Each structure stands twice: as structure tokens, then as C-alpha cells.
């Protein structure tokens, strides 16, 4: 079985399937985010520039972290640092640069959206983008597979010898399931809030779940199917995944406490409004 083609030609123009797949993933995630922002009643005119800056910062951070943790691979061919079409983007590096950029732009352009509320709006869109991006990104890039395997599900990837664990497909399924979990939880939280005198759902709950689930799953993927024993980049990814999950637990505890306080607060009435009616 031959590897999946990593590029195709339109006349003299060579297009890399990896980059095209990531572009589709970014676009779908941005459109879904815009729909969620609009659903919450916030303006969306600022989201075009928002999307551009987030994509640029994510790509920069993802490539920078990958290069820093794989310096030995680029020392002999430093120009390969710019060869994004061959793959090599670290998810945590993208988050490290894109999330602060997104929060800063949101604060400047739509300050009525709080930090945790904005993250709750965004995480389902991120999960959707990750699911599509893993399937249309690393699955179609050079050396996109995991460890070698002789099992029936092994696939051939360009630049790698032998059958490989199809980690991109596995991660696409994982991220798709995360999206389903987030949407189900969001629906249940909305119903719970409606039963408590219209108190808003706990802010930060979806962010907490996404951080815990994605962090632990990403660390496990690296440990089981991708990483090399003792490799600095692999250890950093595993550590970052665990740290992300711990941060998610802290946010979840704070969100639960804040929501309980709001739900137990006595209902107050505006006497002037009642008199006017």
C-alpha cells in the first residue's frame, strides 16, 4: 500500500495537502466560533481581524515550540525551519501564543465578554477545528504517523518506513468526542440554570472540561504512540498535558463554587420597576 499523497499539482502550482487541510480546519473553527458568539448576543464584526491574528500567532507558536524541541533535526539544515508544508507544529505552542492573543483582542474589541465566558464560547469551536485539523493536517503530511506497528490498522506515511499507528485519525476521533461531550454538558448546564431562577450556567465549566480531557488525552497519545523515550520534546508535551489538566481542575472547582453561591443567593426585586408597571 502506498502512502497518502502529501502534495498535488494544479498546472505548475504545487499544493501541499497538509497546509490545505489546516486552512479548512481554521475556517470551519472560525465560522463555528462566529455562530456561537452571535448566539450569545455579541457583535461579530470584529471576528475577521481576530481570526487572522489568532491563526498567525498559533502557527508561529506551534512552529517555534516544535523547532526548539527538535533543534538537532534542524541544525544541519536550518532552512527547513521554514518548511511548514512538511509538518512540524506543536499543539501546545500554538495554544501558548494563540490564547493570549485571542484574549487580548477580545478584551480590546468586545470588552463585555469576560475571560472565562469567552473561553467557554471558544472551546467547542477549538475542538471542532482540532478534529478536522488532525484528519486533514498530520494525516496528510510527511512523517505524520506514530510508532511502527504490524497490526491491521497500520498505515503507510510518506517519509516513514513500514506501517505506522494512524495517530492523526485517532486524535481526530478523540477531538470529535470531546466536542460531543462539551455540547452535551453545555445543554445540561443550560437546563440546570433554567431550573435555578434563570441563573446563568457556571462560567468556566466548559473550559475546565476541555482542559482536563484534552490535556490528559494529548499526554497519553504522546506517551503511548508518538514520543521517544527520554526525548526532551516528548517529555515537555507530556508535562504540558498534565499541567493543562491540573489547571482545568482548578478552574472547574472555582466555577462550581461561584455558581453555587449565585444559585443560593436570594432573589431581589426592583421596587421602582414594579411601581412603574
In a domain, residue 69? The reply is: yes
In a domain, residue 142? The reply is: yes
Kindly state the DSSP code that residue 88 receives in the 8-state scheme. Answer: -
Domain with 74, as residue range(s), is: 13-264
Q: What is the mean pLDDT of residues 117-125?
A: 96
Alpha helices (H) along 10-163: 17-39, 47-68, 71-74, 91-109, 115-136
64: how many CB neighbours lie within 10 A of its CB? 17
With 70 as the cut, is the pLDDT of residue 110 above it?
yes
In a domain, residue 160? The reply is: yes
Q: How many domains does the chain have?
A: 1
Distance, CA of 6 to CA of 203 (rounded, Å): 42
More confident residue, 236 or 265: 236
The whole-number pLDDT of residue 270 equals 43
Distance, CA of 68 to CA of 74 (rounded, Å): 9
pTM: 0.85
In a domain, residue 168? The reply is: yes
In a domain, residue 273? The reply is: no
The whole-number pLDDT of residue 274 equals 36
In a domain, residue 1? The reply is: no
> Which residues are bridge partners to 8 per DSSP?
15
Q: Compute φ and ψ for 9, nearest 5 degrees.
A: -115, 140
CA 67 to chain centre: 20
Which distant-in-sequence residues (6+ apart) come within 8 Å of 156 by Cβ?
1, 2, 3, 4, 145, 162, 163, 164
Amino acid at each position: 500500500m502506498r502512502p497518502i499523497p502529501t502534495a498535488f499539482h494544479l498546472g505548475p502550482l504545487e499544493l501541499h495537502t497538509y497546509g490545505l487541510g489546516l486552512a479548512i480546519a481554521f475556517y470551519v473553527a472560525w465560522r463555528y466560533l462566529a455562530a456561537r458568539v452571535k448566539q450569545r448576543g455579541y457583535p461579530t464584526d470584529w471576528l475577521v481581524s481576530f481570526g487572522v491574528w489568532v491563526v498567525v500567532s498559533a502557527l508561529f507558536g506551534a512552529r517555534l515550540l516544535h523547532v526548539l524541541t527538535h533543534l538537532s533535526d534542524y541544525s544541519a539544515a536550518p532552512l527547513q525551519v521554514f518548511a511548514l508544508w512538511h509538518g512540524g507544529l506543536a499543539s501546545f505552542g500554538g495554544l501558548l501564543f494563540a490564547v493570549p492573543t485571542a484574549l487580548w483582542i477580545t478584551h480590546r474589541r468586545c470588552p463585555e465578554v469576560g475571560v472565562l465566558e469567552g473561553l467557554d464560547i471558544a472551546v467547542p469551536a477549538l475542538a471542532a477545528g482540532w478534529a478536522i485539523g488532525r484528519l486533514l493536517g498530520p494525516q496528510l503530511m510527511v512523517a505524520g504517523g506514530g510508532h511502527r506497528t504490524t497490526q491491521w490498522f497500520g498505515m503507510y506515511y510518506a517519509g516513514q518506513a513500514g506501517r505506522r499507528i494512524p495517530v492523526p485519525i485517532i486524535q481526530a476521533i478523540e477531538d470529535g468526542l470531546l466536542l460531543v461531550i462539551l455540547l452535551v454538558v453545555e445543554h445540561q448546564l443550560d437546563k440546570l440554570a433554567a431550573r435555578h431562577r434563570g441563573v446563568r450556567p457556571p462560567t468556566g465549566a466548559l473550559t475546565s472540561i476541555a482542559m482536563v480531557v484534552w490535556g490528559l488525552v494529548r499526554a497519553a497519545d504522546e506517551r503511548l504512540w508518538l514520543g521517544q523515550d527520554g526525548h526532551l520534546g516528548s517529555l515537555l508535551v507530556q508535562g504540558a498535558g498534565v499541567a493543562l489538566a491540573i489547571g482545568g481542575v482548578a478552574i472547574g472547582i472555582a466555577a462550581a463554587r461561584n455558581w453555587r453561591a449565585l444559585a443560593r443567593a436570594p432573589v431581589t426585586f426592583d421596587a421602582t420597576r414594579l411601581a412603574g408597571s
